[in-house]
A and B are shown apart, each in its own frame.
Chain A
Amino acid sequence: MALTQNGNRLPPRPGEAIDRSHAVSFTYNGRGIRAFAGDTVASALYASGVTILSRSFKYHRPRGLLCAAGRCPNCLVTVDGVPNVRACTTPVREGMAVRSQNAWPSVDTDALNVIDKFDFAMPVGFYYKTFHQPKLMWHIAQPIIRRLGGLGAVDITADPESHYHHDNRHADVAVAGGGPAGLSAAIAAASAGAKVVLVDDQPSLGGHLRFDPSRHADVPGLKAGKGPELAAQLTEAVRASSRIQVIAGTVFGVYQDNLVAVLTRDSVIKLRAKRLIVATGSNEVPHVFENNDLPGVMLSTAAVRLAYLYGVKPGRKAVVACGDDYGYRAALALQGAGVKIAAVVDARGGFPASMSEAQALRDSGVRVLNGYVVIRAEGPKHLSAVSLCHLREGVPLTEELRLDCDLLATSGAFEPAAGLLHQSGGRFAFDEALGEMLPSDLPRGVLVTGEVTGIRDLRANILQGRVAGLDAASSFHVLSYEVRQDLARLRHDLAEALAAYRAHTTRSSPIADMPGKKRFVCFCEDVTVKDVAQAVDEGFADIQSLKRYSTVTMGPCQGKMCHRSFVHLCAAKTGQSVQKTGSTTLRPPLAPVPLGALAGHLHTPIKRTPVDKRSRDMGARMTDLGPWRRAHVFSNPEEEALAIRQRVGIIDVTSLGKLDVRGKDCGALLDKVYTNKMSDLQAGRIRYGLMCADSGTILDDGTVSRLALDHFFVTTTTGNVEAIEEWVRWWTAGTNMCAHVNNVTAAYAAINLAGPKARDTLRKLTDMDISADSFKYMRFGQGHVAGVPAILLRIGFVGETGWEIHFPAEYGEHVWDALLNAGEEFGIIPCGLEAQRILRLEKKHIIVNQDTDSVTTPLEADMEWAVKFDKEDFVGRGGIRAVKERGIRNKVVGFVMRDGLVPEDGDPVVMGGSPIGRVTSSRFSPALRKGVGIAYVPADYAEEGRELLISINGRTEPATVTLKPFYDPEGERLRA
């Protein structure tokens, strides 16, 4: 019997979460639904008579609201294209489009429900057993299974950009959970001076108090009232405290040293706290009986939530099934909301006469059946009746009783929501009296309070919260005398409250064996009691392997609904105690976290040079070089290279790393970290520098310019500067050397001006003496270029007369434009990275990490000239010496292709059909009109004129080894 459109809303009641003056409408599978602000998608649907929200994973059975608290798999829907959204915790928004998923053609009539009739074909672990033989079977079955399996569908056309940001917060005390215990803990900790962050995942604070209609008179520190009134008092106190910050979000992980991961609507917050108070409460979990998944069967808290938070009538006529006192309270609450109570069915034999709610119910004429349990829910798509069975000494008898109803609220089975404690390394012990696994041993810095400790008593929970809050604060604050007095009194009251609670609490233990089929343990993966029993029979008796084989606790609820029954069932089946059976491990994330939230925004900033825009405006195609964007090509790389060889060109080399090294010991420091000698460099001169690790492998290269006795300017390869800075600093650590390294990469723009007409161009922009005689190769000068103060390094990476001009980055475009204007009459053009690569290759200059790898030493790189063994010590000396003694196996050589061919970077060098080396760089040389390159080959090939065979696209092509630069081998042009 489905509920109808009308009459599902209850009259307004104080404390409800909805705002009836504010209508909201949205669509569900295209149909218009009217709701109120404050409704969730599920409450609005339920109010509109939609009781089937999804179809189950395996058998496609109809499923409806179960927990109404975001803990189960039953209400997963697709909202505005985002799959697997929980309808019961998603607030309604005007115009949102909600669709059901995992059903065809609709959730009401899902054709795949026929699978339910063929359950015998899908035993537990069927995916390990079926479709394997014959082999062909899998090919037929796989596409069908793919269609049937899975939950929801990802919209692959959606914007891949993450809309979540990341945030860091710090707190003295983090409180997870905004129920009575959590709120009390936060208030107490703040009152003792702690800075508190409280995280709660519900639309408003107060936890279960928000929908608890009973009146509480004996709660210390609070005025007597109904649940919502107490929630309001606590919330008010939290809001009034300037030391408490409230985050609306879900704690999904706890990591070392109390790093608490919180997911909010639009962010992931990394919250670091000195103390974490876990006040996550408990989860009500389903009872296990035949058809326990039928829509209309729900947790008692879900029914009460619907009525009291959303003003939705959960059913007309209800049976409440319980195993402890809580069920009577729930029944009374439902009765108060206008639901007719057909019966309260209590598995315990005796009537709890001391309980006022139980008395009140009986006095109002409600039938109370003690010693009964529900064994079956009946109805095709919605509950129409339940069948009961009498228990004798905990064992079900066969005699049955049948009651008509459209709501079965199951109660009395709770499990502490202890996932965060599991993650932080807490241990648990089975409490026989309370029948639950409770936290017994907590890690450093973690406290626990409230129902998660297995105590479900408001007075005790609030006392627990206060004690935990003060305990947390006292661990890093000295409490005042008054507060300490207070704490002692609270402890005393709490001990009494706990003793009293334990004295009067009786709970029925879960019923081990009942007749009937389709008794679901796991709603997410459609696993029944029979499946679990069979898996144990097949040998999976250990809870961890049983979990993996049966997949129980592995679905969207992550054990929140099934873990308790699973453990008890396994214990009963194997004959072990619950303590011995243990529990499955709950790992992060505790709640589903979108991948986009973990990704956050792109945190690697792209670096652009000061002439980036100018370059792009001039038509440059850009490329990535380490973290930098570099102009790759302006017009045509070979023409650009020729322009520099024949006329003049400029290249933006701002991305070069730049270090400023100062101090009286900086010569000694550079002697240490470079293989060549730097301390004897004269001021005004430049030297090439090669840097190695201690094992001798090449780390970096660049130029070292001595500006003054105690001041060097060092360049590094693009993208390597941070690592080199850290490396050089490390060699100063603990040495008392007076040498200071600063990374000035972004402070300076750098433009390489090169070509036979470079001097003519530069002369127009500076009054420095730049004649060949006075400004020689490997010297630098300081002066003005186009009015801008600059350092000019006369070096020749590209092999022509030229200057690397370093100047304040702010003037990037100005100097760039000035150089282009000045060179116009000489035919200057801007050149890109590709032209630079061609030019350097013609000069056979290596690029570290392109032509070398992580085991190349200067000996293999044919750069022994840069290693000064006569220095007493330098980093790499021992390693290079050892390699020298041992002899090298491979060497870097240049090669020229015989024919006009150009190999690709990485093509193999072969001999007799097997690879013996590889091409590390290769380009067509416009100056030589031939393919040239650098290769890494066996050392005996390093002989001028020796033939190499290079495999290009599978064809072996000849090349000739060259040890000198291909172009201008003597460097005359460079020095001109």
Chain B
Amino acid sequence: MAFLIPCPNCGERGVTEFRFGGEVNPRPAPSASSDEWTSYFYRRGNTSGLQTEWWYHRYGCRKWFLAKRDTTTNQVTETRWP
């Protein structure tokens, strides 16, 4: 893996500076049903194509942000603060 990610704070950097935080997975309300919680724990979209996901700039500004990445090409098309 060698692709570039534009950190909203630091600009374009190599992927090895970042930690991947997984696809965005909205958390159910505390009162949600067991089923909703279970699907939140264990089900992922695992999209082939554009996916919004969390990234953390571990060796940079140490901030979490959201990135849109094409999972088939690793191209990051957009990044923004959550």
Contacts and interface: CB of A to CB of B under 8 A. Distances in A.
Interface string A265-292: 0000010100000000000000000000
A633 B81 CA distance: 48
Contacts of B40: 694, 878
B7 to A, nearest CB: 14
A733 to B, nearest CB: 4
B56 A726 contact: yes
A872 B2 contact: no
Nearest to A742: B62
B3 A730 contact: no
Interface string A854-897: 00000000000000000011000111011001000000000000
A734 interface: yes
A272 B13 CA distance: 10
B15 to A, nearest CB: 9
A530 interface: no
Given A257-B3, A259-B2, A733 B64 contact: yes
B2 A256 contact: yes
Interface string A678-696: 0000000000000000110
B82 interface: yes
B68 to A, nearest CB: 16
A873 B37 CA distance: 13
B36 to A, nearest CB: 8
Given A729-B62, A733-B82, A255 B2 contact: yes
A877 B32 CA distance: 11
Nearest to B81: A734
Given A877-B30, A879-B37, A882-B34, A730 B14 contact: no
B64 A730 contact: yes
A882 B38 contact: yes
B1 interface: yes
A875 to B, nearest CB: 9
A726 B54 contact: no
Contacts of B27: 694
Contacts of B21: 730
Nearest to B28: A878
A873 B30 contact: yes
Interface string B1-44: 11110000000001000010100000110101010011011100
A256 B41 contact: no
Contacts of A695: 41-42
Given A256-B3, A695-B41, A730-B21, A885 B81 contact: no
B51 interface: no
Contacts of B56: 726, 729-730
A729 B61 CA distance: 12
Contact of A730 (B2, B30, B38, B54): B54
A878 B37 contact: yes
Given A694-B40, A877-B30, A256 B81 contact: no
Nearest to B5: A257
Contacts of A730: 21, 54, 56, 64
B41 A879 contact: yes
Interface in B47-82: 54, 56, 58, 62-65, 74, 81-82
B12 to A, nearest CB: 9
Given A734-B81, A878-B37, A726 B58 contact: yes
Contacts of B4: 257, 272
A618 B6 CA distance: 50
Given A695-B41, A878-B32, A259 B19 contact: no
Contacts of B1: 255-256
A510 B5 CA distance: 47
A734 B82 contact: yes
B45 to A, nearest CB: 17
A872 B30 CA distance: 7
Contact of A259 (B14, B54, B82): B14
Of B2, B14, B19, the most chain A CB neighbours within 10 A belong to: B2
Given A726-B19, A730-B54, A878 B30 contact: yes
Nearest to B58: A726
Contacts of A256: 1-3, 74
A780 to B, nearest CB: 28
B58 to A, nearest CB: 7
A723 B38 CA distance: 24
A935 B37 CA distance: 30
A590 to B, nearest CB: 15
A881 B21 CA distance: 25
Nearest to B34: A882
B82 A694 contact: no
Contacts of B28: 878
Contacts of A872: 30
Contacts of A259: 2, 14
A885 B34 CA distance: 10
A910 B16 CA distance: 45
B30 A257 contact: no
A256 B76 CA distance: 12
A885 B56 CA distance: 35
A398 B3 CA distance: 58
Contact of A694 (B3, B41, B58, B62): B41
A361 to B, nearest CB: 50
Contacts of A255: 1-2
Nearest to A885: B34
B70 to A, nearest CB: 12
Given A256-B2, A695-B41, A729-B64, A272 B30 contact: no
Contacts of A877: 30
Nearest to B73: A256
A878 B38 CA distance: 9
B62 A882 contact: no
A729 B55 CA distance: 12
A255 B1 CA distance: 8
B34 to A, nearest CB: 5
A4 to B, nearest CB: 52
A733 B81 CA distance: 8
Nearest to A260: B2
Nearest to B76: A257
A812 to B, nearest CB: 26
Nearest to A733: B64
Of B1, B37, B65, the most chain A CB neighbours within 10 A belong to: B37
A878 B74 CA distance: 33
A872 B54 CA distance: 26
A394 B21 CA distance: 63
Nearest to A253: B2
Interface in A618-650: none
A878 B30 CA distance: 7
Contacts of A879: 37, 41
Contacts of B2: 255-257, 259
Nearest to A730: B64
A659 to B, nearest CB: 13
A257 B1 CA distance: 10
A121 to B, nearest CB: 46
Contacts of B41: 694-695, 878-879
B37 A882 contact: yes
Contacts of A734: 64, 81-82
Given A734-B81, A878-B37, A272 B14 contact: yes
27 contacts: A255-B1, A256-B1, A256-B2, A256-B3, A257-B3, A272-B4, A694-B27, A694-B41, A695-B41, A726-B19, A729-B63, A729-B64, A730-B64, A733-B54, A733-B64, A734-B64, A734-B81, A873-B30, A877-B30, A878-B28, A878-B34, A878-B41, A879-B37, A879-B41, A881-B37, A882-B34, A885-B34
Given A256-B3, A256-B74, A733-B63, 11 more contacts: A256-B1, A257-B2, A270-B14, A729-B64, A730-B54, A872-B30, A878-B28, A878-B41, A879-B37, A879-B41, A882-B38
Instruction: Please name the 4 residue pairs, one residue from A and one from B, whose CB atoms are nearest each other, closest first.
Output: A734-B82, A255-B2, A878-B37, A733-B64
Interface of B: 1-4, 14, 19, 21, 27-28, 30, 32, 34, 37-38, 40-42, 54, 56, 58, 62-65, 74, 81-82
